[in-house]
Chains A and B, each alone.
Chain A
Amino acid sequence: MADTAVPLAKVERAGFVPGVAYALLAVAVLLAIARPWLPEVLVRVPDWMILPYEGWFQWFFDFLKDDLGLIHVTRAISAVLEWFLDATANLLYGKSRWPNIGPIPWTAIAAVAAVIGYGLGGWRLALLAGGTSVWVSLIGQWDLAMQTLSVIAVAAPAAFMIGLSLGILAWKSSRFEAIMRPTLAVLQTLPFFTYLLPAVIFFKVGPTAGCVATIVYAIPPMVLMTTLGLKKVPPEVVEAGLMSGSTRWQMLRHVYLPAARTEILVGVNQVIMLSLAMVVLTAFIGMPGLGAKLLALMNSLKLGRSFEIGVTIVLIAITLDRLSKAWIVKQPQHFMRGTPWWRRNQLLLVGIGLFIGLIIVAQFVQVADQLTRGQDLSMGSEIDDIIRGALANPTVDAATSWLRQVMITYILIPFRNAVLWLPSLSIILCLAAAGYAVGGRRSALLAGGFFAIVALTGWWDRAMITVYAVFSAVIIAMLIGLPLGILAARNKKWSEPILLVCDTAQTFPSFIYLIPAIMLFGVNDLSVIFAIVIFATVPLMRYTIEGIRNVPAELIEAAEMSGASRSQKLWKVQIPLALPTMAIGFNQAIMFAFFMVIIAAFIGTQDLGQELQKTLAGNQLGKNLVLGMCVALMALSFDHIIMRWSETRRKALGVA
């Protein structure tokens, strides 16, 4: 309590002059006001200052690829990967490759999924895992789902191994960690199109490229969680290990890694979820499976059928998420000495038994082997008609076109024009001012500098359209998410289910969110914004609820004792104390929005995402990288400011 007694005292920093932030802001505002009279040089970076970065990167890539022969190395790697992918593809959906024994009957896989579910979390998870399998098969999407899973089966273990090794290295060597951290930060903010093009060029179009992109995308959280877990191992455990005379390898294998088990498994959960999200997106570069089908159906605006695919993807996501989370919680089981072998491995035996049994059954019963077209229960075209009917309904149609007209004409377009009208320098100075206010000179340089680099690449206007979409969406998301979050947090009955919904929604692959947007608004800016809004509202709500619920009970009691009314308690105690946590939600919303706005290029945008999508059509690696870096730098600039603010604020408030 002593800390919180002076919660709002300014934290003094060396060399921090409070006036500087205001001065920077004042200059920014002045420049904006003086815009009509400013010479062109001050409004946009003049052409002669824009250096041919794209050409340089292109030259560098070509040099790496052809002169140094990197392409032979990567093609050798993709040959190995392809061998694994072919093997899983043969087993899961019968692609004609070694070992030529697949496909495994769907009933056998469903049974094993149910047994794994039972082993990890009892009957409920058995029902979820088995039920999902049955649904996928009955709806006639088994082959598609297996095509997707055959890639995850290779990508997730690979990402796990690489992430774990890098995590251990980062934990051993602080110098390596110093390099690793910023690299990971950039990797996590790079738009996914930037992963795709190099993957295609270096690793061959199709599943191999998709697999590589997926692995790279899924590695960062694994590295971070491994390092975090290893650092948290209590010294007593380490000493116990040392006293028993462990070698270095034994220490790692039997002391550190088991002690960091929880964090590592959280990493595994993230790897699996990110892999699934990415595998769906790699449909853009020719990955077969659920993503490709979804892309094709959305391309032909068959919304009912894409809805069905969406349900399948969501079910698979929830199943994988729940299974891996149950694995985190489940502690290793230890048996009494002398327990017979079959008892210890009971579940394994049941699983194997069912697996073999069903394979034999499938030889005689065709339906147990696979459902062919016509046997499935897909209602896709019926749902298509229902959706089409509902949208053609005059009331719905009038409402959506009214919303479209009003939002676009009076809000979105004016906002976009305003952002485009502002001088670049104004925006850069604004960010620098915000940076200075939260973190002094270094933050000011980072936040402003990142945007200055974007200006220097010559892609400023496109970048501002991206920023405009991100902010319009995040502001709308806040208008929806914050009140809902606050309401939910104040009522226990509501907060639990809403948190559950948020957690579940966060596991959905982002591609899913495009479906309702296109359904309602067709092809325009509003549906882009709408897709981002649904995606970004989730973290805003989630962190608001968590922030308010985690306000220490003593403080609330103190407020109650001083006779605060319900609304005073909310505005004077809960919200101020929850703000740092809410800021994290805000930050995540912005990061999600930056991610989504690029995907929304699929709907049709005019921002960096559109240019990025164009690079996929050619082989312009240099341009692709420059554009990707622009997105990453802008995202990192906001990330830095918000996280820095949240951290200082937490310290000042004395809340953990």
Chain B
Amino acid sequence: MTTLRTFTAAALLASSATFAFAEDSTDPITIPIHNWSSQIVMSHVVGKILEAQGNSVEFVTTDSQAVYESVRLGDVTMELEVWEGAFGASFRAAMEQGGIEDVATHNAVTREDWWYPMWTKEACPGLPDWNALNACAALFATPETGTKGRFLGGPVDWLKHDAEKVEALGLNFQVVNAGSAAAIWAELAAAEKTKTPIVVFNWTPNFAEAVWPGEFVNFPEWVEGCDTDPAVGPIPDKTYDCGNPANGYLKIAAWDGMKDKWPAAYATLQQVNFTNAQIAEMAKFVDIDEMEAEDAAQAWLDANEAVWKPWIE
């Protein structure tokens, strides 16, 4: 028995030793895809880069919050867009449980919050102050919301705490969740025709900034703990009495087994880094030019060789 055990231990050691220097595993690397364009295109861009290195890559559509549990378990290998405002909480929770690691941070700075296109400001000149927004709530009323203003939020599974924010700040608004990001753009385009005031959930980097100039609403500044501790923030007995972080990070996360299983791919992933402009461009290919995500990824790669070639050297 003992000899056998020593033998297996030795074999294991040997194999893990070879692993560290050896080539990447032939098993496919699984990249998750969610429901907004830049993430889908970026996933394909990185997927194609890894494929060019000789890896096999597979894509799986998953929920953007539940994905951190899947990364932790190794069911998917990486997550290319960890937005601080949207997924910071899920990401931190997963980090505490272990199995997931923070691989790199994009240069891009992110912000997600209530946002309005410029024509809204003409009707409600006090903007971007949130008190002014609240004072003109009636301008945003729709048949569905009656006398209250409508705030068009993102899909429910993005788990934005807009309803809590409305409650905490006493906003005269009702949150209506669009089923998809595209529904927000459709409503924005419809509002543009008649210059109807509208306030929606939006984020940067995103293609929308180029199409519809606009501004984020200035809520009380984000302070750490404002979402969990009632005492933090301007309203003493409420949580979520603040805006989202105005200079949020955009990170890359990976399963902690990746560096052993696919060392070369992992080294590349550490180099991956996109800026706001690059990410907005990827989204634009799909949202405005109506390309398929895969074609958009190829188009981006063809146009930006100078950006990504250094990552794989």
Chain A residues at the B interface, C-beta cutoff of 8 Å: 95-96, 200-201, 204-206, 283-288, 292, 295-296, 298-302, 381, 384, 404-405, 408-409, 413, 522-525, 601-604, 606, 610, 613-614, 616-619
Contact = CB atoms under 8 A, between A and B. Distances in A.
Interface string B175-196: 0111111110111000000000
Contact of A292 (B61, B157, B179, B180): B61
B181 A299 contact: yes
Contact of A205 (B28, B65, B75): B75
Contact of A300 (B58, B62, B176, B287): B287
A328 B267 CA distance: 58
Nearest to B66: A617
A523 B179 contact: yes
A301 B143 contact: no
Given A610-B156, A619-B69, A409 B143 contact: yes
A247 B65 CA distance: 56
18 contacts: A204-B73, A205-B60, A205-B66, A206-B30, A284-B63, A286-B61, A296-B35, A299-B180, A299-B182, A302-B290, A601-B179, A602-B179, A604-B177, A604-B183, A614-B157, A617-B63, A617-B157, A617-B159
Given A286-B32, A618-B159, 17 more contacts: A205-B60, A205-B62, A206-B75, A285-B63, A300-B287, A409-B143, A523-B176, A523-B186, A601-B156, A602-B180, A604-B179, A613-B157, A617-B63, A617-B65, A617-B66, A617-B158, A619-B69
B196 to A, nearest CB: 12
A206 B62 CA distance: 8
Interface centre among A408, A409, A604 (most CB of B within 10 A): A604
Given A96-B28, A602-B179, A522 B186 contact: yes
Contacts of B159: 614, 617-618
Contacts of B179: 299, 523, 601-604
B157 A616 contact: yes
Interface centre among B28, B32, B143, B144 (most CB of A within 10 A): B143
A616 B158 CA distance: 11
B143 A408 contact: yes
A111 B156 CA distance: 45
Contacts of B182: 299-301
B183 A618 contact: no
Interface centre among A381, A384, A618 (most CB of B within 10 A): A618
Interface centre among B56, B146, B290 (most CB of A within 10 A): B290
A288 B62 CA distance: 10
A618 B290 contact: no
Contacts of B58: 95
A525 B150 CA distance: 14
A409 B147 CA distance: 12
B272 interface: no
B144 A206 contact: no
Contacts of B120: none
- Interface of chain B, helix or strand or loop or mixed? mixed
A614 B159 CA distance: 7
Contacts of B176: 523-524, 604
B144 A205 contact: no
A300 B35 CA distance: 9
Contacts of A381: 290
Contact of B65 (A384, A522, A618): A618
A616 B37 CA distance: 21
Given A300-B37, A602-B179, A616-B66, A204 B75 contact: yes
A301 B180 contact: yes
B60 A619 contact: no
B197 to A, nearest CB: 18
A616 B180 contact: no
CB-based closest 8 A-B pairs? A617-B65, A299-B180, A617-B157, A301-B182, A604-B179, A300-B182, A286-B61, A408-B143
A413 B143 CA distance: 9
A370 B73 CA distance: 36
B186 A525 contact: no
A286 B177 contact: no
B239 interface: no
Contact of B156 (A95, A384, A614): A614
B63 A616 contact: yes
Contact of B70 (A95, A205, A618): A205
Contact of B144 (A204, A286, A301, A525): A525
A388 to B, nearest CB: 10
A288 B64 contact: no
B174 to A, nearest CB: 10
A604 B178 CA distance: 5
Contacts of B59: 288
A532 B32 CA distance: 32
A618 B156 CA distance: 12
A596 to B, nearest CB: 14
A205 B178 contact: no
A206 B65 contact: no
A618 B66 contact: yes
A525 B177 CA distance: 11
B178 A96 contact: no
A112 to B, nearest CB: 27
Interface string B64-97: 1111011001011000000000000000000000
A95 to B, nearest CB: 8
A301 B183 contact: yes
Contacts of A525: 144
B6 to A, nearest CB: 28
A302 B59 CA distance: 21
Interface string B151-167: 00001111100000000
A22 to B, nearest CB: 37
Contact of A285 (B62, B155, B183, B186): B62
Contacts of B60: 205-206, 286, 288
Contact of A404 (B37, B67, B143): B143
A300 B180 contact: yes
Nearest to A301: B182
B286 interface: yes
Contacts of A292: 61
Contacts of B187: 522-523
A616 B69 CA distance: 12
A404 B155 CA distance: 22
Contacts of B158: 617
B56 A96 contact: yes
Interface in B170-221: 176-183, 185-187
Contacts of A601: 156, 179
Interface centre among A298, A408, A523 (most CB of B within 10 A): A523
A299 B290 CA distance: 13
Nearest to B64: A617
A254 B310 CA distance: 70
A199 to B, nearest CB: 12
A298 B180 contact: yes
Given A205-B70, A300-B37, A302-B290, A523 B65 contact: no
A292 B75 CA distance: 19
Nearest to A619: B69
Contacts of B286: 300
B66 A524 contact: no
Contacts of B32: 286
A371 to B, nearest CB: 15
A111 B80 CA distance: 43
Contacts of A288: 59-61
A284 B65 CA distance: 13
Interface in B29-66: 30, 32, 35, 37, 56, 58-66
